[in-house]
Amino acid sequence: MDIRRQVGLNVRRIRKEHDWSQEEFAFETELHRTYISGIERGIRNPTVLIIAKLASALGVQPMDLLKPVGKTGTKNS
């Protein structure tokens, strides 16, 4: 699977575990909602700084967003 898609699926799953909308998550990360949407759909290629910002807001390690889907140690959707 494409790494951008993996990151997007992990971000979406963990965001939903927090019961946040994309808009709420965008506020937490200080990013635009459409940028979050692009990441979750795998069409954006976030930098390592953005990965770190996303992970921090989600309360996970950056490497957790890069792991194959279902391998982050959190419950699967």
CATH code, domain with 44: 1.10.260.40
pLDDT at residue 76, rounded to an integer:
46
With respect to residue 71, please indicate whether it lies within any of the assigned structural domains: no
Cα gap 39→4, rounded to integer Å: 7
Q: pTM score, two decimals?
A: 0.86
With respect to residue 30, please indicate whether it lies within any of the assigned structural domains: yes
Count: domains in the chain: 1
Burial class (CB in 10 A: 0-12, 13-18, 19+), 54: buried
pLDDT at residue 77, rounded to an integer:
43
Q: Which domain holds residue 13?
A: 3-61
pLDDT by 10s per residue, the chain, length 77: 799 999 999 999 999 999 999 999 999 999 999 999 999 999 999 999 999 999 999 999 999 999 997 555 544 44
pLDDT at residue 69, rounded to an integer:
78
With respect to residue 74, please indicate whether it lies within any of the assigned structural domains: no
With respect to residue 49, please indicate whether it lies within any of the assigned structural domains: yes
